[in-house]
């Protein structure tokens, strides 16, 4: 979806960092970028040693199926995520939007990072200077259940959701749950190329056909089109995270946290945008190196 939005001139993907520590996560992401003609986008690997949240079945399935041209030019290794984040932010001439759709350890690491060769600023100062806001898929603002992205790494989630020195917009579990990506699109809309990484990975994740919640897509859509009216916003407030990973939101005039709200009449238009953008044909096919 972000590649489609960049092709439309609505954003520019500066880099991608992974919080899934499975070894194929970075190569998988590189191949996706390569397929969409942007194999030069830097990819940062997770430094985490966690075992939870390290699903690799769908990663391996796509990589094994990838033709030679899709893997041609892949780097032999990938930089660590946090130093790459610092490098990209320091080099940016304008403020950027960060999208977090995995766990919070990379952004927590950025927040706690020390000055380095990329920037004389520490993480907090670098964020204040270079980050416009963060769009995060995290939390559950409809129930009192711990949400997966928060539960897997509660300390890191607290650092980002509570302590981040700037605006954070959260797309809670309830938003993506209400918007399910149709299996029919996976089966029909990606046939414009003989091999496409998305339906291969999707089919390997669960038994087809299945409709899948669009949790991560909602944060990406809001990040690029915040004024499009796909979602409403809560009033400003603060977010708290307990030891189990449960998130609570409290309105506060001085707060810098808001969460997405999806009204029934917004569902059709929001889902249409998610499906059309995600399945939009690649328009910048990269020549084989």
Q: What is the pLDDT of residue 288?
A: 43
Q: Residues in the chain, how many?
A: 289
**Kind and range of the H or E run holding 6:** helix 2-7
Contact (CB, 8 A) for 270 and 231: yes
Q: Which CATH architecture has domain 82-278?
A: Alpha-Beta Complex (3.90)
Residue 210 CB coordination number (10 Å): 14
Place of tokens 């520019």: 12
Residue 161 predicted with pLDDT over 50: yes
Q: Which token pair is 219?
A: 């944060």
Residue 182 predicted with pLDDT over 50: yes
Q: Name the band, by pLDDT with cuts 50, 70 and 90, for residue 122.
A: very high
C-alpha to C-alpha distance for 46 and 30, rounded to whole angstroms: 14
Q: What is the pLDDT of residue 55?
A: 82
Q: Name the band, by pLDDT with cuts 50, 70 and 90, for residue 179.
A: very high
Average of pLDDT values for 189-215?
Answer: 97
Average of pLDDT values for 251-265?
Answer: 98
Average of pLDDT values for 232-241?
Answer: 98
Cβ-based neighbours of 8, under 8 Å, separated by 6 or more? none
Strand spans (E) along 61-112: 96-100
Q: What is the pLDDT of residue 285?
A: 55
**Kind and range of the H or E run holding 260:** strand 257-261
N-to-C CA span, the chain: 25
**Higher-confidence residue: 9 or 51?**
9
Q: What is the pLDDT of residue 289?
A: 43
Average of pLDDT values for 199-225?
Answer: 98
Cβ-based neighbours of 186, under 8 Å, separated by 6 or more? 198, 199, 202, 203, 208, 209
HSE at residue 224, side-chain half, CA atoms within 13 A, is 20
pLDDT tens digits, 14-71: 999 999 999 999 999 999 999 999 999 999 999 998 888 778 999 999 999 999 999 9
Please state, rounded to an integer, the average pLDDT across all residues of the chain: 96
Residue 202 predicted with pLDDT over 90: yes
Residue 30 CB coordination number (10 Å): 24
pLDDT tens digits, 276-287: 999 999 875 554
Q: What is the pLDDT of residue 284?
A: 58
Please state, for a pLDDT cut of 70, what percent of the chain lies above it: 98
pLDDT tens digits, 74-86: 999 999 999 999 9
């Amino acid at each position: 979806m972000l590649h489609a939005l960049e092709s439309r001139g609505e954003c520019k993907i500066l880099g991608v960092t992974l919080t899934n520590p499975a070894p194929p996560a970075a190569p998988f992401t590189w191949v996706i970028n390569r397929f969409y003609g942007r194999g030069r986008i830097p990819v940062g690997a997770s430094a985490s040693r966690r075992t939870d949240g390290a699903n690799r079945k769908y990663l391996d399935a796509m990589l094994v199926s990838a033709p030679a041209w899709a893997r041609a030019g892949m780097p032999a290794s990938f930089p660590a995520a946090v130093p790459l984040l610092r490098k990209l932010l320091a080099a940016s001439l304008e403020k950027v939007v960060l999208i977090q759709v995995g766990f919070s350890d990379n952004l927590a690491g950025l927040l706690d990072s020390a000055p380095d060769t990329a920037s004389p600023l520490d993480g907090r100062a670098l964020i204040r200077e270079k980050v416009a806001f963060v769009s995060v898929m995290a939390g559950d603002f409809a129930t009192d259940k711990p949400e997966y992205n928060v539960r897997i790494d509660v300390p890191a989630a607290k650092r980002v959701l509570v302590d981040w020195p700037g605006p954070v917009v959260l797309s809670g579990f309830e938003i993506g749950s209400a918007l399910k990506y149709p299996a029919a699109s996976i089966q029909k809309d990606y046939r414009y190329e003989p091999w496409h990484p998305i339906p291969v990975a999707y089919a390997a994740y669960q038994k087809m056909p299945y409709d899948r919640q669009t949790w991560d897509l909602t944060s990406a859509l809001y990040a690029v089109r915040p004024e499009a009216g796909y979602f409403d916003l809560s009033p400003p407030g603060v977010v708290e995270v307990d030891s189990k990973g449960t998130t609570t939101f409290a309105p506060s005039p001085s707060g810098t946290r808001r969460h997405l709200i999806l009204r029934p009449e917004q569902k059709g238009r929001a889902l249409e945008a998610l499906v059309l953008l995600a399945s939009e044909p690649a328009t910048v096919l990269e020549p084989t190196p």
